[in-house]
Amino acid sequence: MRDPLHLRPVQFVDTPVGRDGEVARLAGGMLWFAAYEVIEGGRRRTVPITALADLLQDDRAARLHARITAPRAALTLGERILRFDQPSVAAILNVTPDSFSDGGTHGGDPAEAASAGVAMAAAGAAIIDLGGESTRPGAAQVWEGDEIARVVPVVERLARSGTPVSIDTRKAAVMDAALAAGAHIVNDVSALLWDDRALDVVVRARCPVVLMHSPDPKEGGHARTGYRDVLTDVFDWLDARIAAVVAAGIERSRIIVDPGIGFGKTLAENLALINGLAIFHGLGCPIMLGASRKRMIGALDNESPVDARLGGSLALALKGAEAGVQLLRVHDVAATVQALRIWRGLRDRALVGG
């Protein structure tokens, strides 16, 4: 059986003005592209939008094209609306003693942690992504009762302030408790595979969910594996996982995907994923990119420590924006929001032809 065909939007243009029939709009957002890279059987070729007719005779190509170009439905999160027609920031708020970047910063004081989350929202974050267990390599597993005790008081305070919250957890009991306390989204690094009860929790709650790729979700997410082509392998894994979650009763419009930068991937594989991010629009879901302060930045910059990776984090965030990523999961909210505002200004000017 031949490898399935994949489409990656390429040849992005400044403006669609005067280019009817030559370009397509990416996921209802602020980017237009003039061609696809067609990946099939280990080979790559470029097909211009002007020559799509033959390609779209293939049912899979037609389905991918429809998903790539369809606008992403907004999500209602309490009193807030999260739109996906331009990139937004999901702010990382850890209430753990051992997270790789900010472990211990906000642990032990729910009021202080919630205040930090509100400040992140005031700085421009669309969502606060709250975690009570580190998922760094080698981190100790946290008992679900302890994790609940860490996150629920913070969720309650953030919910009272009207701040949208996603709960970053693999555990069904933590999901249940956080959603009951006012969280709006489940963000699971195991794509609802670590805990056999997790899928049922999300289906019952009818909440949006982030499905992240890792090669071994049952074991922690950091095992090394042999990818034939990391870009298409991760795409296919997420595609299959989306299909399973949709079959269980969650609407595709309520699923967000994350390629899992740093989880069971080498530096070269992480770079290939980031360079090829636009392929994931073919899943028909908003994309979250979590590359902030990660090890790959240190690997490319003389082993810079975690607290000296702002420049690299901003570079990766802007690379994501240029590929149409809708959610950027970051530690440095104000700096990233400022970078995205400049990016948006440049896009606005380009779209009117200047």
Q: Which residues are catalytic?
A: 294, 329
- Using the Cα atoms of residue 180, residue 182, residue 188 and residue 191 in order, give the sign of their dihedral: positive
Are 98 and 134 a contacting pair, CB within 8 Å?
A: yes
The C-alpha angle with vertex 281 and arms to 88 and 335, in degrees rounded to 5, equals 25
Are 22 and 32 a contacting pair, CB within 8 Å?
A: no
Mind spelling out the 3-state secondary structure of the chain?
A: CCCCCEEEEEEEECCCCCCCCCCEECCCCCCEEEEEEEEECCEEEEEEHHHHHHHCCCHHHHHHHHHHHCCCCCEEECCEEECCCCCEEEEEEECCCCCCCCCCCCCCCHHHHHHHHHHHHHCCCCEEEEECCCCCCCCCCCCHHHHHHHHHHHHHHHHHCCCCEEEECCCHHHHHHHHHHCCCEEEECCCCCCCCCHHHHHHHHCCCEEEECCCCCCCCCCCCCCCCCHHHHHHHHHHHHHHHHHHHCCCHHHEEEECCCCCCCCHHHHHHHHHCHHHHHHHCCCEEECCCCCHHHHHHCCCCCHHHCHHHHHHHHHHHHHCCCCEEEECCHHHHHHHHHHHHHHHHHHHCCC
List phi, psi (to 5°) of 119: -65, -40
